Amino acid sequence: MNVFDYFFSTTQNLEKDFVLGSKETISFKQLHEDSLKVASYIKEHVGENQNILLISPNSVFFITAYLGILKSGNTCVPLNYAVEQSNLDFIVDTAEASTVFIAKGLKRRLKLEESISLIDEAELIQITKNQTVNPGNSDFDKTRPAEIIFTSGSTGEPKGVVISHKNIIANTNSIIEYLKLSEKDIMAVVMPFFYCYGLSLLHTHLKVGGSIVLNNSFMFLATVIKDIENYRCTGFAGVPSHFQILLKKSQTFKETEFPDLRYVTQAGGKLHTVFIDEFVEAFPEKDFFVMYGQTEATARLSYLPPEFVKTKKGSIGKAIPGVQLKVVNAEGKEAAVNEEGELLAFGDNVMSGYFKDQKDTDEAIVNGWLRTGDIAKVDEDGFIYLMARKKEIIKVRGKRVSPKEIEEVILSVPQIVDCTISSIDDELLGEAIQATVVANGDFDEAEMKSIITQRCGEKLAPYKVPSSIVFEKTMSMSATGKKIKKK
């Protein structure tokens, strides 16, 4: 089954609005019709089994294009709309993309070859007006790629996670089951759809016949609070920084009752228990779901039921329905109670592999089990606790950041001899980026900080710019000559 048909199996004729908001709305029925027209257009003009890029903030344009690409038998590659030009060039070349759905406002900043076909909002409207719908292929292999999610790789180059139609269907079913979602649910969406956590909100609510409210302006906290109130949202999902900012920067948030809000979910990194406690104390009748996942697992791997938030503090809970999790020690055997080891995952939600990277795929998936790269332990009751990250990747606001990518930019400043990127604890973001720099000769630290910040701002997305820059006189090295990273 094509995941598009799975999403609309019971909702394609619904007149109710799927997207709510003051800027734009669209019903299930209209979305189904428009997406089918986009799919038919793509099949006629592009064909099948191609990689099609999608670059846009959350919008009806994004959703319609995304669903149309999936239905057309092609692979959607949703990208961060703040993508650096160098990363965009790499992805376009690697994916061999000839078609890009792109929001009109991004055309000036992002440069694409003239040979690439660009489709913006105006052109999509023309497609939905003029295109006739052609019957799709009913005999569809659900193991075919549905999307490629590019994340920061360990080398600094983006790494493509290949997600199949089967992966999305499996993970969507699991999430719907443990969150008990229904057509009555309305989700306040502040996370971008190019991120697997954001996409999971789109998938689940589309499937059950619920609704979503799009808010692309989280830093304007008043608008988020008003959206949850005005649209009677039953759910809110966020990464640690969302909750920390709401709790620490907005007194109004904790003073608002939100009578329709049934639950909130948190993933995308560790939210310190002090913030969870603060939320639960402020909203004792709202269910708080701590969750854990990876892009390589489509979105979700485990959850901590709300009733255990106080008694199992710091735990990521247990596996979601349809997924198996285990911790293995250095000998490759299942770890004993409270013995640390690597967390492994098995299920239909585990990715097909890394795009054009068989070596890393073989290292990540062994005998069907996904090596998460996270060190964990399991207590006597079967609850899992993450102890450390095996990989170097830093998560800022739920987004994965490669230290090497930032180090390379800072080292392009002529006076810099060495740079080490590490994570530091941050009250609002959970993890923030710190650059430890060694520079040549005499220099003014304030001036050098300004130069480094400006260079990073020119070359990197805003969330990758270090929030802290410290200077060392010499490089810190171990006896073997390896750099010692400070945390």
- Closest of 54, 125, 65, 130 to residue 88, by C-alpha: 54
Residue 350 in contact with residue 365, Cβ under 8 Å?
A: yes
Element (H, E) at 140: none
Give the number of other CB atoms < 10 A from CB of residue 102: 22
Asked if 316 and 385 touch (Cβ cutoff 8 Å), the reply is yes
Q: How many angstroms separate the CA atoms of 299 and 317, rounded?
A: 16
With a CB cutoff of 8 Å and minimum separation 6, the contacts of 293 are 196, 197, 267, 299, 300, 301, 302
- Is 402-471 the same fold as 3-378? no
- What's the CATH fold of domain 402-471? GMP Synthetase; Chain A, domain 3 (3.30.300)
For residues 403 and 388, give the distance between their C-alpha atoms in angstroms, rounded to a whole number. Answer: 17
Burial 137-168 (b: 16+ CB within 10 A, else e): eeebebebbbbbbbbbbeebbbbbbbbbbbbb
pLDDT one-digit tens code per residue, 343-386: 999 999 999 999 999 999 999 999 999 999 999 999 999 999 99
CA atoms within 13 Å, Cβ hemisphere of 350: 18
**Predicted pLDDT of residue 129:** 97
Element (H, E) at 320: none
Read off the DSSP letter of residue 481: S
- pLDDT at residue 487, rounded to an integer: 45
What pLDDT is stored for residue 165 in this prediction? Answer: 98
Running DSSP on this structure, what letter comes out for residue 486?
A: P
pLDDT at residue number 26: 98
CA nearest 375: which of 344, 400, 337, 346? Answer: 344
* Angle at the Cα of 60 from the Cα atoms of 5 and 181, rounded to 5 degrees: 55
Q: What distance in Å separates the CA atoms of residue 431 and residue 423, rounded to the nearest whole number?
A: 6
pLDDT score, position 392: 63
The pLDDT value recorded for residue 391 is: 60
Query: Are 94 and 148 spatial neighbours (Cβ–Cβ below 8 Å)?
Result: no
- Condensed to tens digits (0 to 9), the pLDDT of residues 219-269 reads 788 999 999 999 999 999 999 888 888 987 778 999 999 999 999 999 988
Cα dihedral 447/449/452/454 (nearest 10): -70
Enumerate residue ranges in the chain where pLDDT < 50: 477-482, 487
CATH 3.40.50.12780 fits 3-378, yes or no: yes
Evaluate whether 384 touches 325 at the Cβ level (below 8 Å). Answer: yes
Structure tokens at 132: 């006739």
- pLDDT value of position 128: 98
CA nearest to 195, candidates 395, 3, 429, 353: 395
Q: What is the pLDDT of residue 404?
A: 77
- Quote the pLDDT of residue 240: 85
Listed by start position, the domains of the chain span: 3-378, 402-471
Do the beta carbons of residue 209 and residue 189 sit within 8 Å? no
Question: What pLDDT shows up at residue 486?
Answer: 52
